[in-house]
Amino acid sequence: MTTLTRSSKQSLNSPASDQALDQARTALGRTSDRVYLDHNATTPPDSAVLTKLSSWALDWGNPSSIHQHGRGPKTRLREARDSVSKMIGASSLETIFTSCGSESNTMAVRGALSALQKKGDPRRHILSSALEHPSLRRTFDALKLEGYDVELVPVDRSGRVNEKDVEARLRPNETVLVSFMLVNNETGVIQPIKEITRAAKTVGALVHTDAVQALGKIKVDVKELGVDYASFAGHKFYALRGAGVLYSARGAPLDPLVYGGGQERHRRGGTENILSIASLGFMCSRSDEVEGRAETIRELRNYFESRVLLEIPEASITCLESPRVASTSSLLLPGTDGETLLMSLDMDGFSVSTGAACSSGSPEPSPVLLAMGLTREEAQCSLRVGLGWSTTREEIELFIETLKRVVTRLRGLRNWHPSPTEEQVS
Amino acid sequence: MTTLTRSSKQSLNSPASDQALDQARTALGRTSDRVYLDHNATTPPDSAVLTKLSSWALDWGNPSSIHQHGRGPKTRLREARDSVSKMIGASSLETIFTSCGSESNTMAVRGALSALQKKGDPRRHILSSALEHPSLRRTFDALKLEGYDVELVPVDRSGRVNEKDVEARLRPNETVLVSFMLVNNETGVIQPIKEITRAAKTVGALVHTDAVQALGKIKVDVKELGVDYASFAGHKFYALRGAGVLYSARGAPLDPLVYGGGQERHRRGGTENILSIASLGFMCSRSDEVEGRAETIRELRNYFESRVLLEIPEASITCLESPRVASTSSLLLPGTDGETLLMSLDMDGFSVSTGAACSSGSPEPSPVLLAMGLTREEAQCSLRVGLGWSTTREEIELFIETLKRVVTRLRGLRNWHPSPTEEQVS
């Protein structure tokens, strides 16, 4: 998975001038003049989704209505639920539509604990990590104030939670919930959820996984993972914003987070957002494309990383040796500042990020990278590149040349030079 | 407000035959062969919303991204917030986007109480009514299990909460929250929220109003009402599903319900659903149309009700003498069963309901009507007619004729005859 291809650098070996780049862009027929490499923040709706938008919007009726205007939407809802359920390996009764991944995360944790507390369950110990999405980290912060003992399993620079570290911290009769993400949003590292779940089940703990960054990137089978709850979001998988999913295994305790009518079998109130749900269902009906798309993206990503490592002195790839999804590349570019880098690249027409969009605007370096043991200095020179289904070889070529040029310029401004004692390829 | 117009019944005085109705439909150029009179359940997206759908969908970037792809969506978000805030009389900092009205309702109550509890507030008494939306009724059910004392103020057949009844039940140092809806979803009755708020403030209670059925139907000014929280939903006002609003007055205590990144100033996590939010903002930018539209609808509704009262023996209008929004007509049609009536009308091409869509599918009569003191028998013969911006005189004419025919047929099947001791016009 971490083998890099070293081909195809012939044509762009010498840095192109700005003018040459402009010419290249024009030649490539780029009309929007923008290259989007931030697919972890959100994905553009698939072109087929955009085509179907108007027809879905015409099914605006309330699926709870028992007249004709409710029947079309109800059918769309059922079809979407079937298609999502099939893709994640759940039964349709176990698939709950929410409004987003953050809601699914909050709901899983709050809903499980609330239901257990009502039954008089005395367990108050939770295991998770510092790599989790803010929706979980902040839910845990709230739970701490309510008497829960939230323990974060340490993670090293591999970015991978070690199942042994989880196992060692499980407390029989105390650990009530274990929650780890399946794919990290900043590094792309795939966590050993199956192994963690197996360990957690030995003490009877419930298991939740935030699989938001996994859907559409790797095969996700909730039964195979063995988890009780899993969170998903449509807008990370080329569907519209506004549809999330919480998988809740049959029999798993779960109180609603949002109350309402009898929607989602009384588990999530609110008139269903058919337009967004239909778009997610549609994308999930294309699950057989996932593997092939990932393979194409992996080749592009590996090509990109090999070029970066070869051509940008002292650049490194975070979690290079860990199992990662194909689409994420987390770079460290010493001698640059991530924010400045991002803004320079933005001015040159490239959308990338320094970390999670959810935390952007904050001057602090990524808490995820810091939690992995990177120094503040390292975290501050990080850049996240997120490839997607529409990413082309040409975009990657353009991006590499621009990145090299911008890094060189920023390093020059700081009068930074590669350390002479280190090899150029780290 | 309850004066009925008695004009314009000349042309359709004698019941039209089925064939004549079909001819009338054809003449009216009805292509979909459906008349939608269930606007309280949900509204069709305005045609201008459908036109703008694709352009909004192209602003798919994450508004939290600091690159170019995030800037368009961020601008749309700000514009929508300004436009919604202006329409409801709030400042933009007080306007929080949620996913739906049910979420806004749950969030207001949960968020306020959670924040107060953290501060050690000992008050546990809540005042509300049995007329509220299920999202509130079920939130209250959950709170009762957590030690809250939820008291429901009784309501009579007027469907109106009496502020004196609220006042009499307020308990200094005990009442923490008062929550009443501004407009009832089944009867259309407008509640005296301003007066209730004034009373509640004398004991320092927080006030929430569910204004979901008010937006776009009457002028709503949260400052004038004086409430601390107000809930709204886009899909009851010709916007897309997927955008709700919680108004939370500056300084009002409020914990998040959905945790996440820093979205909505840390009050509601989750990547913002720009498409739905933009559609709601767009509709709110048309707030100056509301009054005129309501006037047109009121004339149609009054005409409809006058015809029903004149031509359907023993028919009556629920809450006829109470202040009501222009668009709702809640009928009692003795000698029929609401569900059967609904299904017959559905087969004839009319979408109406027996009560809230949120409770449909349930064989039980409307809990709202029962709470108002209607008998089970009365509640079971109720029909809710919800007019909207696109409702035409022709649709109303067709509906009246069909309703008369269907009611006569159903009464005949039951061998039901008007009581000879009552006047035809009740």
Of A407, A308, A360, nearest to B69 by C-alpha is A360
3 state DSSP class of B261: coil
List of residues 6+ apart from A289 with CB closer than 8 A: none
Confidence class for position B70, pLDDT limits 50, 70, 90: very high
Contact A60 B241 (CB under 8 A): yes
User: Does B248 lie in the same domain as B376?
Assistant: no
Q: Write out pLDDT tens, residues A150-199.
A: 999 999 999 999 999 999 999 999 999 999 999 999 999 999 999 999 99
Q: Which residue of A has its CA nearest to B212?
A: A270
The pLDDT of residue A25 is above 60: no
User: Does B128 lie in the same domain as B237?
Assistant: yes
The pLDDT of residue A134 is above 60: yes
Contact of A205 with chain B, judged by CB distance below 8 Å, is answered with no
Report the pLDDT value the prediction gives residue B355, as an integer from 0 to 100. 74
Q: How many residues does chain B have?
A: 426
Confidence class for position A357, pLDDT limits 50, 70, 90: low
DSSP-derived secondary structure letter, A183: B
Pairing of strands B206-210, B175-181: parallel
The pLDDT of residue B250 is above 70: yes
3 state DSSP class of B198: helix
Q: Angle between the B338-347 and B393-413 helix axes, to the nearest 10 degrees?
A: 130
Domain boundary among A246, A264, A285: A285
Nearest to A260 among B67, B118, B134 (CB): B134
To test the contact with chain A by mutation, choose from B231, B271, B406 the residue with the greatest count of A C-beta atoms within 10 A, namely B271
Average pLDDT over residues B281-293: 98
Residue B13 lies in a domain: no
Q: Angle between the A393-413 and A338-347 helix axes, to the nearest 10 degrees?
A: 130
Confidence class for position B363, pLDDT limits 50, 70, 90: low
Report the pLDDT value the prediction gives residue A418, as an integer from 0 to 100. 87
Q: Which of residues 48-67 of B touch A (CB under 8 A)?
A: 50, 53-54, 57-58, 60-62, 64-67
- Are A280 and A271 in contact, with CB atoms under 8 Å apart? no
| DSSP-based helix, strand, coil % in chain A, nearest 5 | 45, 15, 45
Task: Establish, for the pair of chains A and B, how many residue pairs have beta carbons separated by less than 8 Å.
Answer: 288
List of residues 6+ apart from A238 with CB closer than 8 A: A43, A44, A45, A46, A49, A216, A283, A388, A389
Confidence class for position A71, pLDDT limits 50, 70, 90: very high
Pairing of strands B95-98, B244-248: antiparallel
Residue A11 lies in a domain: no
Higher pLDDT among residues B167 and B5, named by residue? B167
Report the pLDDT value the prediction gives residue B357, as an integer from 0 to 100. 58
Q: Which residue of B has its CA nearest to A55?
A: B50
Residue A44 lies in a domain: no
**A232 phi and psi angles, rounded to 5 deg:** -140, 160
User: Hey, what are B298's tokens?
Assistant: 């009121």
The pLDDT of residue B406 is above 50: yes
User: Does B149 lie in the same domain as B92?
Assistant: yes
Report the pLDDT value the prediction gives residue B425, as an integer from 0 to 100. 45
Percent of chain B with pLDDT over 90: 87
Pairing of strands B244-248, B229-233: antiparallel
Average pLDDT over residues A304-329: 98
3 state DSSP class of B125: strand
List of residues 6+ apart from B303 with CB closer than 8 A: B4, B5, B7, B8, B393, B396
Contact A100 B34 (CB under 8 A): no
Q: Which residue of B has its CA nearest to A239?
A: B60
Average pLDDT for chain B? 91
Instruction: Determine the distance in angstroms separating the CA of A199 from the nearest CA of chain B, rounded to an integer.
Output: 28
Q: Which of residues 350-389 of A touch B (CB under 8 A)?
A: 350-353, 356-362
Q: Which residue of A has its CA nearest to B343?
A: A67
Confidence class for position B364, pLDDT limits 50, 70, 90: confident
Confidence class for position A420, pLDDT limits 50, 70, 90: confident
Report the pLDDT value the prediction gives residue A1, as an integer from 0 to 100. 34
Domain boundary among A230, A254, A285: A285
Rounded Cα gap, residues B147 and A157, in angstroms: 47
User: Does B151 lie in the same domain as B271?
Assistant: yes
Average pLDDT over residues A270-293: 98
Rounded Cα gap, residues A297 and A142, in angstroms: 38
Rounded Cα gap, residues B18 and B406, in angstroms: 11
The pLDDT of residue A421 is above 80: no
Average pLDDT over residues B8-19: 39
CB contacts, 8 Å: A240 with chain B: 57, 273, 275
- Residue where the block lists tokens 């070996």: A13
Question: Which residues of A are part of the catalytic machinery?
Answer: 358
Report the pLDDT value the prediction gives residue B30, as an integer from 0 to 100. 42
Instruction: Determine the distance in angstroms separating the CA of A297 from the nearest CA of chain B, rounded to an integer.
Output: 21
Rounded Cα gap, residues A350 and A343, in angstroms: 9
Confidence class for position B119, pLDDT limits 50, 70, 90: very high
CB contacts, 8 Å: A67 with chain B: 38, 342, 345-346, 350-353
Contact of A72 with chain B, judged by CB distance below 8 Å, is answered with no
Rounded Cα gap, residues B271 and B11, in angstroms: 55
Specify the CATH number for the domain of residue A213.
3.40.640.10
Q: Write out pLDDT tens, residues B253-270.
A: 999 999 999 999 999 999
Higher pLDDT among residues B84 and A22, named by residue? B84
Confidence class for position B419, pLDDT limits 50, 70, 90: confident
Of A305, A293, A362, nearest to A330 by C-alpha is A305
Pairing of strands B382-386, B328-332: antiparallel
Specify the CATH number for the domain of residue A337.
3.90.1150.10
Rounded Cα gap, residues B77 and B49, in angstroms: 16
Residue B194 lies in a domain: yes
Domain boundary among A285, A306, A336: A285
Of B357, B184, B281, B256, nearest to A269 by C-alpha is B357
Pairing of strands A382-386, B35-36: unpaired
Q: Which residue of B has its CA nearest to A266?
A: B138
Nearest to A54 among B50, B100, B244 (CB): B50
The pLDDT of residue A11 is above 50: no
Its sign, for the CA torsion A358, A401, A407, A33, is negative
Confidence class for position A254, pLDDT limits 50, 70, 90: very high
In this prediction, does ipTM exceed 0.85?
yes
User: Does A295 lie in the same domain as A273?
Assistant: no
Percent of chain B with pLDDT over 70: 89
CB contacts, 8 Å: B242 with chain A: 99, 241-242, 273, 275-276
The pLDDT of residue A402 is above 80: yes
- Are A302 and A141 in contact, with CB atoms under 8 Å apart? no
User: Does B393 lie in the same domain as B345?
Assistant: yes
User: Does A115 lie in the same domain as A29?
Assistant: no
Rounded Cα gap, residues B386 and B38, in angstroms: 5
Q: Distance of alpha carbon A262 from its chain centroid, rounded?
A: 31
Structural domain range at position B159: 52-285
- Lowest-confidence segment of B2-16, B87-101, B144-158 by average pLDDT: B2-16
Active site residue B358: yes
List of residues 6+ apart from A43 with CB closer than 8 A: A235, A236, A237, A238, A388, A389, B60
Report the pLDDT value the prediction gives residue A8, as an integer from 0 to 100. 35
Of B75, B265, B66, B77, nearest to A384 by C-alpha is B66
Residue B425 lies in a domain: no
Instruction: Determine the distance in angstroms separating the CA of A294 from the nearest CA of chain B, rounded to an integer.
Output: 22
- Residue where the block lists tokens 């040409």: A394
> A245 - beta bridge partners?
A97, A232
List of residues 6+ apart from B19 with CB closer than 8 A: none
CB contacts, 8 Å: B36 with chain A: 69
Residue B232 lies in a domain: yes
The pLDDT of residue B126 is above 80: yes
CB contacts, 8 Å: A103 with chain B: 99, 258, 269-270
The pLDDT of residue B26 is above 50: no
Q: Which of residues 128-187 of B touch A (CB under 8 A)?
A: 133-136, 138-139, 142, 145
Average pLDDT over residues A288-312: 98
CB contacts, 8 Å: A242 with chain B: 99, 241-242, 273, 275-276
User: Hey, what are B114's tokens?
Assistant: 């959670």
To test the contact with chain A by mutation, choose from B241, B255, B337 the residue with the greatest count of A C-beta atoms within 10 A, namely B241
The pLDDT of residue A425 is above 80: no
- Are B225 and B89 in contact, with CB atoms under 8 Å apart? no
- Lowest-confidence segment of B162-176, B226-240, B350-364 by average pLDDT: B350-364
Average pLDDT over residues A388-415: 97
The pLDDT of residue B22 is above 70: no
CB contacts, 8 Å: A244 with chain B: 270
Q: Write out pLDDT tens, residues B195-226.
A: 999 999 999 999 999 999 999 999 999 999 99
Count Cβ neighbours within 10 Å for each residue of A38-62 and write b for 16 or more, e otherwise. Answer: bbbbbbbbbeebbebbeebbebbbb
Rounded Cα gap, residues B412 and A234, in angstroms: 52
Report the pLDDT value the prediction gives residue B356, as an integer from 0 to 100. 65
Report the pLDDT value the prediction gives residue B193, as an integer from 0 to 100. 98
CB contacts, 8 Å: A179 with chain B: none
Between CA A197 and CA A205, with CA A199 as vertex, the angle to 5 degrees is 70
Number of domains in chain A: 2
> B94 - beta bridge partners?
none
Q: Distance of alpha carbon A252 from its chain centroid, rounded?
A: 25
Residue B31 lies in a domain: yes
To test the contact with chain A by mutation, choose from B34, B65, B144 the residue with the greatest count of A C-beta atoms within 10 A, namely B65
Q: Write out pLDDT tens, residues A85-133.
A: 999 999 999 999 999 999 999 999 999 999 999 999 999 999 999 999 9
Contact of A212 with chain B, judged by CB distance below 8 Å, is answered with no
User: Does B107 lie in the same domain as B230?
Assistant: yes
To test the contact with chain B by mutation, choose from A100, A114, A276, A384 the residue with the greatest count of B C-beta atoms within 10 A, namely A100
Long-range contacts of B48-54, Cβ-Cβ distance < 8 Å, separation of 24 or more: B48/B282, B49/B238, B49/B239, B49/B240, B49/B279, B49/B282, B49/B283, B50/A54, B50/A57, B50/A58, B52/B278, B52/B279, B52/B282, B53/A53, B53/A54, B53/A57, B53/B240, B53/B275, B53/B279, B54/A50, B54/A53, B54/A54
User: Does A342 lie in the same domain as A404?
Assistant: yes
Report the pLDDT value the prediction gives residue B398, as an integer from 0 to 100. 97
Nearest to A106 among B145, B258, B346 (CB): B258
The pLDDT of residue A7 is above 60: no
Q: Which of residues 318-357 of B touch A (CB under 8 A)?
A: 342-343, 345-346, 349-353, 356-357
Rounded Cα gap, residues B152 and B137, in angstroms: 10
Residue A46 lies in a domain: no
3 state DSSP class of A213: coil
Average pLDDT over residues A10-28: 44
Instruction: Determine the distance in angstroms separating the CA of A102 from the nearest CA of chain B, rounded to an integer.
Output: 5
Rounded Cα gap, residues B179 and B181, in angstroms: 7
User: Does B293 lie in the same domain as B268?
Assistant: no
DSSP annotation string for A99-130? S-HHHHHHHHHHHHHHHHHHTT----EEEEET
User: Hey, what are B168's tokens?
Assistant: 């009499």
Between CA A335 and CA A344, with CA A338 as vertex, the angle to 5 degrees is 95
Q: Distance of alpha carbon A297 from its chain centroid, rounded?
A: 15
Q: Which of residues 246-275 of B touch A (CB under 8 A)?
A: 255-263, 269-275
User: Does B173 lie in the same domain as B320?
Assistant: no
Report the pLDDT value the prediction gives residue B19, as an integer from 0 to 100. 54
Q: Which amino acid is at A186?
A: E
Higher pLDDT among residues B27 and B196, named by residue? B196
User: Does A266 lie in the same domain as A173?
Assistant: yes
Q: How many CB atoms lie within 10 A of CB B268?
A: 28
Q: Distance of alpha carbon A93 from its chain centroid, rounded?
A: 25
Q: Which residue of A has its CA nearest to B44?
A: A60
Rounded Cα gap, residues A32 and A386, in angstroms: 19
